[in-house]
């Protein structure tokens, strides 16, 4: 079912931006495939939305078709031996909870990342010691020809916050985990979460790190040493806790964040001679 002029802000962690011209939240692969085929026939630009934790939506109508994969339609979660199959719409926190509850370890380093499995694979989300691709066994995709295919890890490529999925929709994935002690896995989750919460403003509205780390350096360090932490434009602020996070306060608009991004890039370029590349996507 197509929803017209659907509010999208609440479907992102920034909670900013306008409405989708058309939104579909498919409840099956078939509905997803039919929706994508319809979009092609009509020439609608089409985007896949996960948990919206790496996106900034502009303050305007998002043209074309937005397809949101959530747990209702893409919520598979099952174990066979030490392999866990998770649907694209399952949150990482739910996946990690499922694994840790069974004493399976390997994904604890991803705790505190508010992504869905599909978005996490697309961006090869990672924590201090692990990226999601490292535990991947296979992925099932809807490819650009409309076929459902399962590819082993060896046929996929991943990089720093990047993957080879650009043209496909991730439907579900199998992760290979290791037998561990449940209490120890739980403790590792607590430790990772505590460290992440100490370093990053997890309770505030953001999209995680705004910029990619430039080779050999850290965007957060460059922003901090350019004297920009705590700077505000409108109701958007560079987090005083982490220089690579912009947080949106009540009443913020996307435009405030965009202006702050421009300001940071120019200042960091002047001070350090480095042009920061965006890590988030702006839609
Ligand atoms: C508080 C906070 C902390 C964060 N910490 C981290 C961190 O430590 N490490 C890290 O790597 N990231 C972090 N992030 C960023 C973000 O969580 C990741 O980029 C994550 O991978 C985005 O997943 P998502 O489901 O929200 O995807 P979305 O933001 O919804 O989408 C991101 C991209 O994936 C595509 N996509 C989504 N689902 C699918 C699918 N099923 N098939 C194909 N393409 C798809 C979208 O089209 C878009 O291009 C953080 C974000 C926040 C808000
Ligand atoms: N900066 C921001 O704007 C935001 C920051 N965050 C922060 O990011 C971190 C991770 O966020 P998030 O992934 O949303 O997870 P949280 O740790 O905040 O917990 C909520 C999650 O618990 C999951 N859940 C509900 N029931 C169960 C269950 N029975 N077993 C396992 N999991 C369950 C839900 O998954 P499901 O969705 O599948 O129902 C939901 O995603 C947190 O620290 C949070 O504070 C989170 C959101 C926004
Ligand atoms: C949050 C994200 O991912 C995060 C991920 O959570 C952490 C896990 O340790 O590692 C990356 O951050 P990061 O490189 O800033 O990691 P941190 O360990 O916080 O900082 C790296 C270095 O920069 C310094 N730093 C960081 C922030 C700051 O304000 N000032 C500063 O000087 C730190 O002291 C440290 O020496 C990812 N960011 C990127 C752009 O790669 C995301 O992708 O959205």
On whether both 191 and 230 belong to a single domain, the answer is: no
85 and 177 housed in the same domain: yes
Is 206 a domain residue? no
Specify whether 20 is located in the same domain as 89. Answer: no
The reply to whether 210 falls in a domain is: no
Residue range of the domain that includes 271: 219-282
The structure tokens listed for 111 are 């705790």
Which residue's CA is the nearest one to ligand 3's atom 24? 221
Residues 250 and 163 in one domain: no
Residues 52 and 140 occupy one common structural domain: no
Mind giving me the DSSP string for 211-227? BPPPTTS-HHHHHHHTT
Q: Which of 169, 199, 229 marks a domain boundary?
A: 199
- Shared-domain flag, residues 181 and 243: no
Digit-by-digit pLDDT tens for the chain (283 residues) are 999 999 999 999 999 998 999 999 999 999 999 999 999 999 999 999 999 999 999 999 999 999 999 999 999 999 999 999 999 999 999 999 999 999 999 999 999 999 999 999 999 999 988 999 999 999 999 999 999 999 999 999 999 999 998 789 999 999 999 999 999 999 999 999 999 999 999 999 999 999 999 999 999 999 999 999 999 999 999 999 999 999 999 999 999 999 999 999 999 999 999 999 999 999 9
213 within some domain: no
The reply to whether 245 and 157 lie within a common domain is no
**How many angstroms separate the alpha carbon of residue 216 from the centre of ligand 2?**
32
Please name every residue paired with 149 in a beta bridge, in sequence order, or none if there are none: 141
* Domains identified in the chain, total number: 3
Residues 185 and 245 in one domain: no
Ligand 2 close to Cβ of residue 112 (< 6 A):
yes
């Amino acid at each position: 079912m197509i929803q017209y002029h659907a509010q999208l802000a609440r479907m992102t962690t920034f909670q900013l931006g306008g409405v989708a011209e058309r939104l579909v939240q498919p409840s099956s692969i078939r509905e997803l495939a039919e929706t994508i085929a319809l979009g092609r026939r009509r020439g609608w630009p089409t985007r896949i939305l996960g948990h919206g934790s790496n996106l900034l939506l502009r303050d305007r109508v998002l043209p074309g078709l937005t397809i949101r994969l959530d747990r209702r339609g893409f919520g598979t979660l099952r174990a066979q031996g030490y392999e866990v199959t998770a649907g694209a719409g399952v949150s990482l926190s739910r996946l990690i909870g499922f694994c840790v509850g069974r004493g399976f370890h390997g994904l604890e380093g991803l705790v505190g990342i508010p992504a869905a499995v599909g978005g996490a694979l697309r961006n090869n989300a990672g924590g201090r010691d692990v990226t999601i691709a490292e535990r991947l066994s296979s992925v099932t995709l809807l490819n650009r020809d409309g076929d459902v295919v399962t590819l082993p890890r060896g046929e996929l490529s991943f990089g720093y916050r990047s993957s080879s999925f650009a043209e496909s929709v991730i439907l579900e994935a199998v992760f290979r985990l290791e037998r561990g002690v449940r209490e120890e896995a739980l403790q590792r989750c607590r430790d990772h979460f505590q460290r992440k919460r100490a370093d990053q403003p997890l309770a505030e509205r953001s999209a995680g790190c705004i910029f990619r780390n430039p080779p050999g350096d850290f965007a957060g360090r460059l922003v901090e040493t350019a004297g920009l932490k705590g700077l505000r434009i409108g109701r958007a602020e560079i987090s005083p806790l982490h220089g690579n996070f912009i947080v949106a306060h009540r009443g913020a608009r996307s435009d405030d964040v965009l202006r702050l991004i421009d300001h940071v890039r120019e200042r960091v370029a002047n001070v350090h001679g480095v042009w920061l590349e965006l890590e988030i996507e702006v839609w």
